[in-house]
Amino acid sequence: MSGPYPWTATGQPDDVQYHDFARLGIGKACPYGVYDVTHQAGWVGVGQDHDPAQFAVHTIERWWTEQGRARYDFAPIRLSY
């Protein structure tokens, strides 16, 4: 069997946390990505923001600042939100 989890015999399941709730201040990781089709490169931001839309905008803004502006300086349209 492929995958990161070892095989378990039938009738002996492992206990897992199957709900997606933040537990005891640990929080949860939220990935959001940008894929640049022209350069075939991806950018993934991982954070713990409770507002997915705000986190998505922040990730896109960060990509633009770190990579997009230099790659697309000639672009007539600038990032705006």
Structure confidence at residue 1 (pLDDT): 44
Contact at 8 Å (CB) between 27 and 46?
no
Q: CA of 14: how far to CAs of 6, 7, 10, in Å?
A: 10, 10, 11
Residue 64 per-residue DSSP state: I
Structure confidence at residue 31 (pLDDT): 84
Contact at 8 Å (CB) between 7 and 1?
yes
Q: pTM (2 decimals)?
A: 0.57
Element housing 33 (H / E) = strand 30-36
Mean pLDDT of successive 10-residue stretches along the chain, which has 81 residues: 60 67 65 89 83 84 88 72 55
